[in-house]
Structure 1
Amino acid sequence: MSVFTPVTRPELETFLAPYRLGRLLDFQGIAAGTENSNFFVSLEQGEFVLTLIERGPSEDMPFFIELLDVLHEADMPVPFALRDTDGNALRELCGKPALLQPRLNGKHIHTPNNQHCAQVGELLAHIHLATRERIIVRRTDRGLDWMLASGVELSAGLDSAQQQLLNAALEEIKAHQPKIMALPQANLHADLFRDNVMFEGTHLTGVIDFYNACSGPMLYDIAITLNDWCSSADGALDLPRARALLGAYAALRPFSAGEAELWPVMLRVACVRFWLSRLIAAKSFAGMDVMIHDPREFEVRLAQRQQVTLTLPFAL
C-alpha cells in the first residue's frame, strides 16, 4: 500500500468538516501512488480524492493549484482543488500539505490502441495551448541538471553495459542542453503515463497526478507521454500508436523545425529521467510496502531508442 502517512477516521472527519460536503461514508488508501499519500473519500455529496503531499516543498503547492484552476477553466477533465468555507484550497492534515479534489470517472487503460493514443495526443496539445501564452513558472526538480548529477552518482552501481548506455546518454544531454532549453515552452504534465489518464470505453474522461508538472519544453512532455503510451512489450516504439498520438497533437499545435531536429534526442532524455528516478525509488523504498516501478523498463526503452525512425509530422 503506497500510503506513507496513515490517516485515522477522526482526523479525516475534522479535516473534511469545513468543506460542508456531508458526512464521511468511507475512505481507503490508493495503492498506485509512489510519491504521495492518496485516499478515495466517499461523502454524502459525492466521491473525492484526498492527497497528502509527501515530496517537494510546500511552497510549490500554489503552482499546482493555479495550474489546475487554469486547466479546469479551459474545460479540461482535471481534478482541481476544492475550497473550504474560508476559500482555502491548500490545507494541512497530519502535518502534511493536503488537497481535496473531485474524483474523476473512468478507468486506466493498460493496453491502449490507436484511438486512445490519439485522444492522449489531443489532451496534451490542449494542456500546452492553454498555458504557453501565460506560462506559470516552476522549474522541475528532475530536470537536465538533476539527470546529469544523479546519473554520475548512480552509474557506479550499474554493470559495464548499463554504464556504457547511461554515460552515452548523459554525454548527449550535456551536448544538447542549450538547444533543448531553447525549444518552445509551456506548462507540462511531465508524467502523463497510462496510470494517470482515465477512459470510459474509448472516451477520455480524466487526467490526474500533476505533482511532477512544471514549465519547460513541450517536446519533453510529448516524449515522456509517447514512451509510455506507444511502447511495445520489448520496449520498441509501436509506430501506428505513435503516429496516431503525434498526428492528433500536431493537428492542434504544429511542430517547429527545432523540435523535429531534437526529437530522437528527447525520446532518449525522457527514458533517462525515469530510469534514474526509478533506480532511486527502488533503493529508497527497498523492503517497504510501497509500489516500486521496475527501473529496467526504461533501461530497455533507452536501448531501443538508440535508433529512432519515427519522425514528427512536420508541416512547412
Structure 2
Amino acid sequence: MSVFTPLSRPELETFLAPYGLGRLRDFQGIAAGTENSNFFISLEKGEFVLTLVERGPVQDLPFFIELLDVLHEADLPVPYALRTTDGVALRELAGKPALLQPRLPGKHIKEPNAQHCVQMGEFLGHIHLATRGHVLTRKTDRGLDWMLEEGDRQLAMLDSGAGQLLRDALAEIGHYKERILALPRANLHADLFRDNAMFEGTHLTGVIDFYNACSGPMLYDLAISLNDWCSDDSGKIDAVRARAMLGAYAALRPFTAAEAELWPVMLRVACVRFWLSRLVAAQAFAGMDVLIHDPGEFKHRLALRQKVEIALPFAL
C-alpha cells in the first residue's frame, strides 16, 4: 500500500476537530498513490480526502491551494483545500504538510471511449482558458532541464537499444528546448492520467492529484493526457479517441501553427518525462511495498511515437 506515513485514529481526530465537520466515522489509506500519502476520511458531515505531502518543496503548497481555488471558482470539478473554522487551509500532521479536500464522486475509467476523451479535451481546454490570462508561476521539477540531466544519468543503466532511444530523445529535447518553452502558456495539470479522473458513465465528475501542476506550454499538458487516454493496448495512438480529444480541445482554444509543428516532438517529450520518472521511482522504492508503474510502458510508447500520424486540427 502506498501510504508512506501511517496515521492513528487519535491523531486524526485531533487534526480534524478544527474543521467543524463532526465526528470521525472511518478512515482508510489509499493504495493508488505513488508520491503522497492519501486517506479517505468519513466524517458526520461528509466524505473527504486527506493528503500528506511527501515529495516536493513545502513552499509550493500555497501555489496548489491558489490554483485549485481558481479552478473551483471557474466551476470545474476539482478538489480544493477546505479551511478550518479559523480560515487555515495548509496545516501539518505527523510532521508533514496536510490538506483536507472534498471527496469527488465517480470512478476511474480503465478503458476510455471517444466520449470520455471528449470530456478530457474539454477539461484541459477549460483549465487553460481559466489560467492563461493570469498564469500562476511554478516551474515543474520534472521539466526539460530535469529530463536532460536525469536522462544522462540513466543512460549508463540502460541496454544499448533503450540507451540509443533515450539518447536520441534527449538530443531532440535539447534541439527544440527554446521553441517548446516559447509556446503559448497557462497552468497545467501535467499528470492527467486515467487514474486521476472520475466519471459517472461518460460524465466527468472529478479530476484529482494536482501535485505536479505547474506553469508551462499548454500543448505539453495535452500531450501527457493523450499519451495515456488515447493509447490502445499495444501503446499505439487510437485515432478515433485522439481526434475526439483534440477536436474538443480545439473547439475551446484553437492551436497555433507553432504548436502544430511541434506536436510530434511534444508527444515524445511527454513519453520521456514519464519513462524517466518511473525509472527513478523504481530505483528509489525497489523492494518496498509501494505501487510502482512500469517504466517500460513509456519506453515502448516513445519508440512508437517516432512516427506520429495524428495532426492537430484547425491550427491557425
Q: With the length of structure 1 as denominator, give the TM-score of the two structures.
A: 1.00
Residue 179 of structure 1 corresponds to which residue in structure 2? 179
Deviation of the 1:120 alpha carbon: 0.4
**Secondary structure at 2:187's aligned position in 1?**
strand
Deviation of the 1:119 alpha carbon: 0.4
**Secondary structure at 1:101's aligned position in 2?**
strand
Q: Does 1:91 align with 2:120?
A: no
Residue 302 of structure 2 corresponds to which residue in structure 1? 302
Unmatched segments (≥5 aa) in structure 2? none
Q: Please give the alpha-carbon distance, in whole angstroms, between the structure 1 residues aligned to 2:274 and 2:95.
A: 29
Deviation of the 1:164 alpha carbon: 0.5
Residue 293 of structure 2 corresponds to which residue in structure 1? 293
**Secondary structure at 2:97's aligned position in 1?**
strand
Single out whichever of 52-61 and 306-315 deviates more from structure 2.
306-315
**Secondary structure at 1:204's aligned position in 2?**
strand
Q: Please give the alpha-carbon distance, in whole angstroms, between the structure 2 residues aligned to 1:220 and 1:171.
A: 18
Quick check: 1:185–1:216 contact (8 Å CA) kept in 2?
yes
Residue 45 of structure 2 corresponds to which residue in structure 1? 45
* Aligned AA (2:20): R
**Secondary structure at 2:267's aligned position in 1?**
helix
Quick check: 2:115–2:244 contact (8 Å CA) kept in 1?
yes
Q: Please give the alpha-carbon distance, in whole angstroms, between the structure 2 residues aligned to 1:208 and 1:181.
A: 26
Q: Please give the alpha-carbon distance, in whole angstroms, between the structure 1 residues aligned to 2:107 and 2:71.
A: 21
Residue 202 of structure 1 corresponds to which residue in structure 2? 202
* Aligned AA (1:11): E
Q: Deviations over 1:6-35 (max 9, x none)?
A: 110001000000001000000000000000
Quick check: 1:108–1:198 contact (8 Å CA) kept in 2?
yes
* Aligned AA (1:245): M
Quick check: 2:257–2:315 contact (8 Å CA) kept in 1?
no
Residue 260 of structure 1 corresponds to which residue in structure 2? 260
Q: Please give the alpha-carbon distance, in whole angstroms, between the structure 2 residues aligned to 1:206 and 1:46.
A: 16
Deviation of the 1:142 alpha carbon: 0.2
Quick check: 2:191–2:225 contact (8 Å CA) kept in 1?
yes
Q: Please give the alpha-carbon distance, in whole angstroms, between the structure 1 residues aligned to 2:56 and 2:202.
A: 35
Q: Give the CA RMSD over aligned residues.
A: 0.5
**Secondary structure at 1:50's aligned position in 2?**
strand
Residue 73 of structure 1 corresponds to which residue in structure 2? 73
Spell out the pairing of 1:275-286 with structure 2 (5 A cutoff): 275-286=275-286
Which aligned runs of 4 or more in structure 1 are off by greater than 3 angstroms?
A: none
Residue 154 of structure 2 corresponds to which residue in structure 1? 154
Q: Deviations over 1:92-142 (max 9, x none)?
A: 000000000000000000000000000000000000000000000000000
Q: Please give the alpha-carbon distance, in whole angstroms, between the structure 2 residues aligned to 1:112 and 1:139.
A: 31
Residue 35 of structure 1 corresponds to which residue in structure 2? 35
Q: Please give the alpha-carbon distance, in whole angstroms, between the structure 2 residues aligned to 1:144 and 1:159.
A: 23
Unmatched segments (≥5 aa) in structure 1? none
Q: Does 1:164 align with 2:178?
A: no
* Aligned AA (2:209): D
Quick check: 1:260–1:314 contact (8 Å CA) kept in 2?
no
Residue 60 of structure 1 corresponds to which residue in structure 2? 60
Deviation of the 1:315 alpha carbon: 4.3
Q: Please give the alpha-carbon distance, in whole angstroms, between the structure 2 residues aligned to 1:269 and 1:202.
A: 29
Deviation of the 1:284 alpha carbon: 0.5
Quick check: 2:260–2:315 contact (8 Å CA) kept in 1?
no
Deviation of the 1:297 alpha carbon: 0.4
The 1:273/1:315 distance shift into structure 2, 3 A limit, reads closer
Q: Deviations over 1:226-256 (max 9, x none)?
A: 0000001111100100000000000000000
Q: Does 1:249 align with 2:249?
A: yes
Residue 224 of structure 1 corresponds to which residue in structure 2? 224
Residue 134 of structure 1 corresponds to which residue in structure 2? 134
Identity of aligned residues (%): 76
Q: Please give the alpha-carbon distance, in whole angstroms, between the structure 1 residues aligned to 2:136 and 2:146.
A: 21
Quick check: 2:54–2:96 contact (8 Å CA) kept in 1?
yes
Single out whichever of 228-237 and 174-183 deviates more from structure 2.
228-237
Deviation of the 1:273 alpha carbon: 0.0
How many residue pairs match? The answer is 316
Residue 103 of structure 2 corresponds to which residue in structure 1? 103
Deviation of the 1:314 alpha carbon: 2.0
Q: Please give the alpha-carbon distance, in whole angstroms, between the structure 1 residues aligned to 2:116 and 2:209.
A: 19
Q: Please give the alpha-carbon distance, in whole angstroms, between the structure 2 residues aligned to 1:31 and 1:155.
A: 31
Deviation of the 1:202 alpha carbon: 1.1
* Aligned AA (1:287): G
**Secondary structure at 1:281's aligned position in 2?**
helix
Q: Deviations over 1:246-288 (max 9, x none)?
A: 0000000000000000000000000000000000000100111
Q: Please give the alpha-carbon distance, in whole angstroms, between the structure 2 residues aligned to 1:13 and 1:49.
A: 14
